[in-house]
Amino acid sequence: MSAIKPSTPPARLRRGETFEGEIETLAYGGRGIARPGGYVVFVSGGLPGDRVLAEVTKSKRGYAEAVALELLAPSPDRLPNVDEHQGEACPGASWQGLAYEKQLAFKEAHVADALTRIGKLGDVNIDPIIGADEQWRYRNKVEYSFGEQDGELVLGFRPQGRWDEVLDIEDCHLSSEATNQARNEVLAWARAEGLNAYDPHDHRGILRNLIVREGRRTGQIQTRLVTSRGDFPRPPVDLHTIIDGPSGSTSGPTGALGEETLRERIFDLDIELSHDSFFQTNTEMAEKLYGLAAEYADLTGTEKLFDLYCGVGTIGLSMARQAGQVWGLEIVPDAIENAKRNAKANGITNARFVAANARTGMRPLIEEAGRPDVVTIDPPRAGLSAKIVRRLIECEARRIVYISCNPTTLAPNAAQLVEAGYRLTRVRPVDMFPQTPHIECVAQFDLIGEVKYVESPSDRKRRERDERRQAAKEAGQ
């Protein structure tokens, strides 16, 4: 009997090669998956059922990454674009060709896949996704980039993968008419003054970015202009940030020319926001997200609540009247000052806020306040480091409510918590960002019995080193 020959692996595509293929499904992050000759390629710019011409931008042994150059045959399910700029789909609305119910189905599936495949958590109770009532005009913050086209100043968005280009826009359907009007007024001023855009190639020019924030419930518009240093008339904006050097960061010195803070209302709270304070970019869905977190926390009026990564205090303050005491922890000092003023303005006396990072601030907080009954945590997209998860476990809270904007980082954090003795009781996705692949979710963890402290890799190495030294010492006696 002849031996069975191993199957031949699919031919690997190299960087710069082009291919034609059909998008089969969507991976987390929104890229399409094609399999030319059986070789897996993640394609930016395609939706399921599309047949595209794509160019490979990165090649690995087991997969490649590519960008769609041309839509050869659209999927029969593809919807016409609502939001286009200069003939291209808005870079911030990459899923607008998908029917909204399909967007929700993919997002729900991506959360389940991350928890089971990355977190290896088995059968997880995932409640149905909460969809958005408004699928357009929902953003309360938009960042525009300045550029030039044929010698004329433009203000818009950078296309995906083309960092040195700017698509000029007149009306982005993700933002409100008031936000678009503010953008148009600043552009008209800049053109009238003959100002030029900063060039990322030769690092010359003045105008870099315009950030527009809107109080959706108050109607307030706040504008911040980001420029290189130079001489030009006072801009018609609220805030002006000057960047020295080639960095594109917006963390330079900021001077107030108008309103220094933005006012917003969420639930029954009046909220103050400084320019660098985090706030969810969809106010209406933020209420649903935080309302779900409060439901999962299930406070009875006596609990001690730690609100980690608290920002301007919105989550903790929204739960303060159902808690005994709230302690908020946040690394941004301006946000902590906002949180303190927000507590005072809303007549909340049982909330305290501390400026510290989560890694070094939790132990001192436990020493000062004692261990919490419930912890709410809303980290950035990178999730929690293993060390911060261990600090979280040291709180020994009976319940942890984790608000995540990235299920692929929630998953390993969830696995650590489960290993430490917590049960992942339930998870529910919330669609904060229609027309995009981004997804938020709220996860509830309940402590079962006693906390099981998990030894960190560094602690294990230190213990093993000490044990070897002790064994050598005893052998020499």
Rounded-to-integer distance, Cα 219 and Cα 223, Å = 13
Please tell me the predicted confidence (pLDDT) of residue 471: 77
Cβ count near 326 (within 10 Å):
31
Residues of the chain with CATH 2.40.50.1070: 141-262
Tell me the β-bridge partners of 423.
Answer: 446
Rounded-to-integer distance, Cα 72 and Cα 257, Å = 50
Instruction: Specify whether the CB–CB gap between 218 and 204 falls below 8 A.
Output: no
374-377 sheet: strands from edge to edge: 351-355, 325-330, 304-308, 374-377, 399-404, 440-447, 422-430
Rounded-to-integer distance, Cα 386 and Cα 226, Å = 36
Segment (H or E) for 333: helix 333-345
SS3 content of the chain, % helix, strand, coil (to 5): 25, 30, 45
- The whole-number mean pLDDT for each consecutive block of 10 residues of the chain, a chain of 477 residues, reads 56 89 93 93 93 94 92 92 85 93 96 95 93 96 94 90 81 94 96 92 90 96 93 90 70 69 95 90 97 98 97 97 97 94 98 94 95 97 94 96 97 96 97 97 96 71 77 73
Contacts of 452 by beta carbon, 8 Å cutoff, 6+ apart: 419, 420, 421
Q: Indicate the CATH number for domain 272-458.
A: 3.40.50.150
Contacts of 347 by beta carbon, 8 Å cutoff, 6+ apart: none
Rounded-to-integer distance, Cα 241 and Cα 234, Å = 12
Which amino acid, 90?
C
Q: Indicate the CATH number for domain 18-78.
A: 2.40.50.140
Using N-to-C axis directions, what is the helix angle for 407-419 and 386-394, rounded to 10°? 50
The DSSP 8-state label assigned to residue 115 in this structure reads I
Integer Rg of the chain from CA = 25
Instruction: Specify whether the CB–CB gap between 374 and 392 falls below 8 A.
Output: no
Q: SS3 letters for 159-184?
A: CCCCCCCCEECCCCCCECHHHHHHHH
pTM comes to 0.88
Q: Is 405 a catalytic residue?
A: yes
Q: To which residue do tokens 């801009």 refer? A: 235
Which entry of 90, 172, 395, 405 is annotated as an active-site residue?
405
Please tell me the predicted confidence (pLDDT) of residue 1: 47
Query: Sign of dihedral through CA atoms 89, 90, 91, 95?
Result: negative
**Helices marked H in 90-153 — which ranges?**
100-113
Task: Tell how strand 167-168 and strand 25-26 pair up.
Answer: unpaired
Residues of the chain with CATH 3.40.50.150: 272-458
Rounded-to-integer distance, Cα 408 and Cα 299, Å = 28
The DSSP 8-state label assigned to residue 108 in this structure reads H
pLDDT tens-digit profile of 63-87? 999 999 999 999 998 999 998 888 7
Residues of the chain with CATH 2.40.50.140: 18-78
CA distances (Å), 162 to each of 76, 159, 166, 204, in order?
29, 5, 8, 19
Number of H helices, E strands in the chain: 9, 24
- Domain range 141-262, CATH class: mainly beta
Query: Sign of dihedral through CA atoms 329, 335, 336, 338?
Result: negative
Contacts of 163 by beta carbon, 8 Å cutoff, 6+ apart: 200
Structure tokens at 216: 């959706």
CA distances (Å), 256 to each of 29, 217, 223, 304, 397, in order?
37, 23, 10, 38, 42
